[in-house]
Every structure is written in C-alpha cells, then in structure tokens.
Chains A and B, each alone.
Chain A
Amino acid sequence: MSPSGPEVIRQIRASVDEVDPADVRAELSANGTVLVDVREEQEWNVGHIPGAQHVPRGYLESRIEAAVPDRDTHVVLYCASGQRSALAAHTLTELLGYRHVRSMNGGITLWKDRGYDVEVPHALSAEQRERYSRHLLIPEIGAEGQQKLLDAKVLLLGAGGLGSPTALYLAAAGVGTIGIVDNDVVDLSNLQRQVIHNTPRIGTPKVDSAEEAIHELNPDVKVVKYPVRLDASNVMEILEGNDVIVDGLDNFPTRYLINDASVRLGTPVVSASILGFDGQLSVFAPGDGPCYRCLYPVPPPAELAPSCGANGVLGVLPGTMGLLQATEVVKLIVGAGEPLIGRLLLYEALGATFTELKVRRDPACPICSRDPKEISDEETGVFPDYEAFCAAAG
C-alpha cells in the first residue's frame, strides 16, 4: 500500500537537515549562506526575511539555478512553517544535486515569533498592476523596476517645451514624486509646444497647470511645486533629496548653477537644449562622467548665445528632446541600458540626423575634479555676470 501524504512528508522531513532560525540568523551575517524563500508570491509580499531570495516552490526546478548557480553553495530554504521548505530541500538535494541544503525549522512564523527582522516590500496594488502592466511585461523594468519608479523623486526644471512632455511621460510611467520649478504663468504662445498646459488654463501658474494635468493622468504621482526663480540662495535646498534632475532651462547662468549644485549633491542631471530645428542631449552623472562645465567650461559671448532672447523653435522639437530626456530618466531610475553619460547626442530635425560626440571628463574641471564637500555656496554657479551681458546685447 502506498504511504499517505502526511507519512511521505514525515519521512522527507526526517531525511533533510533542519536548522533553527537563531542559527540561520547568525550564519547570514557571517558567511555566504544563501537564504531562499519558497513560498507563494502573495506570502512573500506580506513580508520576508531581509536578504532572502524568492523562488516559489512551484518554480523551484526552473528558477533555482538563476538564484543559486553553484551547487556547492550553502543554501537555507524557508517557508511559513518548515514543511514546504523541507520538501523543496529534498528536491534540491535528491533531484538537482545541491550538496549543502537545509530547511529552516518553524519557517518565518517562528522567525517572527523570535522578534527577528522582517522586510515588508511595497506591493503593487491591483490597479497599479493593471496601469503599469506594459512595464511589468518588460524584463528590464518588471515589478522591481516599477517599484523603483514609484519610489523615485525627479525634479523638473521648467514646465515648458522640454518639461511638458517629460513631466507627462514620467507621470504616466509612475514616477512617484515629480518636483517642478517654474515661476511662469501659461501664455497662449506656449501652447504650440508646451503640451502639459491647455487653452482654459492660460494665465494659470505653470506649476498649478502641470499639477492638474499630471493628476488627471495619474493620481499615483505626488507633485511638489516650486513657483520660484532658481538662484544660488535656494538651489541646494530645492535639488536635495531628488534622484534625478531634468534640466531644460534656457540660460547659461542657471545651467552652471544646476551643474555645480548637482555635483555637490552627487545627483545626475539629464540635460537637453533646443534651438530652431536642433537639439542636444546628455546625461551628467557626478563621479561617473563629465559635468556640464567639462563640456562647456565657459559660456559663449552673448552674440553667440541666442538663449538670451525669444527665439523660434519647431513646436515638436522640444517634444522629441523632452521624451529623450524622459527615457534617460527612466533608464537611470531602473538601472537599465547604457545612459547617455560621457556622450552628447545632437539631433537635427530638418535633415533627420542624429550625431553622437564623446564628452571627456576634464581633469582640471573647476568643479567636478574636486571633492564635492569642498565646493562652497559662494562658488556654486559662479561665472561672469551673464544676465547683464544678455541685457547689454538686447
């Protein structure tokens, strides 16, 4: 007669090595033991042991090698009480040839009873799983990447031509906190390209208009509004605490200011600029690549810097460049692909050409070659009085 299910479980539990949670806890901090949670996803999402890998028992045979490639690794499995992990340990030892597998006695229930740490991950809600389902289907993003997006804080400098598409797509992508610095109001002449605003909101502060559009698109997003002029007195305070800064400003003084502050804070800046039919894009990541001053150590004289006054721009161009910025932001947050660090991308819309140039870190850069802690407030954003220069140039 075949043995009963409980009898099989009893026999298997008797044959596998079991280990007490106290010993597991000591081992985890001491050596290379890998802890694997074999419970179902819903159980894992309620809370798991910090540092554990998750391989549900139903997927054990197909996924364990990705989590534990070396069969000589010391592996401890756990479940809720120690029963499923014992069965999984039996499978790993007898069928898959792992040589040092143990099952944690009492499972996470006993672990918790002892008062040991449990990590509770942020689980996506059912609505979020639906909203971000197309992200969840891409391995480069998945649930983990989506959670990184939801936890991310991105600061947009300007809710204008570049900032509009960037803000909308980052909001759609589920970036949890979007800060917007803009002290302007919506003007009719903005609407040819600043798609986050609309005709009924003409005359409204841009930060309010952008917030309304973002919340209509995705109520998950928290909008932090800065209806101020960015200057040396507030730049560190406003930039601090953000994961990525998106620079789409139109003047050199502010670009240098942002650069210097971001180097001090160690925060990457996704930078774009546009003129007519031409756009430029790069990512300045302090420590990993050059900064804006390495590329442009001094600003050009006013006659070569048409940003000083109102200039024409093809309405769709900031859309193109802003979305390239948004793409770089998402890549930086989820850690996918090769960000545009140390490279400058030029886009010329009329010819439909892209040109990529190398940007080298300047070993003599007055800002990023130094210890960031040594850069003072007084030095941040310093260079000749450019606004006066612009005013003089008319």
Chain B
Amino acid sequence: MATIKIPPVLRPSVGGEKEVPAPGESIGDVLRALAEAHPDTRSQLFGSEGDLNRYVNVYLNDEDVRVLEGLDTPVSDADTVVILPAMAGGQAVTVSFI
C-alpha cells in the first residue's frame, strides 16, 4: 500500500496520524480509500463532482499529480502521496497573533 502524508489541517480527521497507508492503483483510488477509511477527509479533498478540490495539491513522491495524469496517475506500493493544502501561518501584521 502507498503511504499518504497527512498535512496538519487534516490530521484531526485521521486520528492525529502524520502518515496513513492506503490501497489503490491510482491517485484517485488511494485518495478515495483514504476518504472511505476517514470520512471527515472527503469534503476536504473532493468537490461535489468527485474531482480534487483546487486548493488541495497532491504529489506523487515529489511531483504534482496535475502535471502527471491527475487522479488517474498510477501508484505503486513504494510510493508516497503528499497532500498539501495551502498554509498561511506566520506573523500576523493585520488581524491576529500566531
């Protein structure tokens, strides 16, 4: 099974894990398996049409799947899938303290 790296914002949805294994032969299969096992992640990963949300980047190892074959990109057991939503944390100069 491929390993999925879970970003901080999604960790509460997977029981706090930083990495979870998921079965599947494509990126779409692997992410759907993740959503099956951890339903709270579904709305964060997929839009209503079942497509990947535009604000979520997914990488197969170090490459953005959008420049590969998207959700159809083949995945092998040795692969790492990285989920990366935008992160803006830093210093608040306008609205809040971090």
Distance, CA A9 to CA B92, complexed state (A): 70
Q: Which residues of A contact B85 (CB under 8 A)?
A: 300, 304
Q: Are B90 and A272 in contact (CB under 8 A)?
A: yes
- Of the stretches B31-39, B58-66, B70-78, the one at the interface is B58-66
- From A299, A310, A356, B97 is in contact (CB under 8 Å) with A310
Q: Which residues of B contact A356 (CB under 8 A)?
A: 62
Q: Are A297 and B54 in contact (CB under 8 A)?
A: yes
* Max chain B Cβ within 10 angstroms of own Cβ: one of A181, A189, A296, A299: A296
Q: Which residues of A contact B9 (CB under 8 A)?
A: 275, 300, 304-306
CB contact under 8 A between A161 and B95, given known A295-B57, A305-B86? no
Closest Cβ–Cβ distance, residue A373 to chain B (whole Å):
28
**Number of B residues, CB within 8 Å of A:** 32
Distance, CA A275 to CA B90, complexed state (A): 8
Residue in chain B with minimal CB distance to A184? B93
Q: Which residues of B contact A278 (CB under 8 A)?
A: 7-8, 87
- A252 at interface by CB-CB < 8 Å: yes
Distance, CA A280 to CA B94, complexed state (A): 21
Q: Are A300 and B91 in contact (CB under 8 A)?
A: no
Distance, CA A304 to CA B8, complexed state (A): 10
- B1 at interface by CB-CB < 8 Å: no
CB contact under 8 A between A189 and B98, given known A160-B90, A250-B92, A274-B90? no
Q: Which residues of A contact B56 (CB under 8 A)?
A: 300
Closest Cβ–Cβ distance, residue A238 to chain B (whole Å):
12
- A143 at interface by CB-CB < 8 Å: no
Within 8 A of B (CB), among A168-204: 181-184, 187, 189-190
Distance, CA A255 to CA B9, complexed state (A): 19
Q: Are A160 and B62 in contact (CB under 8 A)?
A: no
Query: Mask for A251-269, Cβ within 8 A of B = 1, else 0?
Result: 1101100000000000000
CB contact under 8 A between A159 and B91, given known A190-B97, A355-B5? yes
Residue in chain B with minimal CB distance to A249? B90
Query: Mask for B44-69, Cβ within 8 A of A = 1, else 0?
Result: 10000000011111010011100100
- From A158, A276, A299, B90 is in contact (CB under 8 Å) with A158
Q: Which residues of B contact A390 (CB under 8 A)?
A: 95
Chain B residues within 8 Å of A, Cβ to Cβ: 5, 7-9, 18, 44, 53-57, 59, 62-64, 67, 82, 84-98
Q: List, sorted by A's number, 7 A–B pairs whose CB atoms are closer than 8 Å.
A: A158-B91, A158-B93, A229-B93, A249-B92, A275-B9, A309-B96, A357-B59
User: What 5 pairs across the A-B complex have the smallest Cβ distances?
Assistant: A160-B91, A158-B91, A296-B86, A307-B88, A248-B90
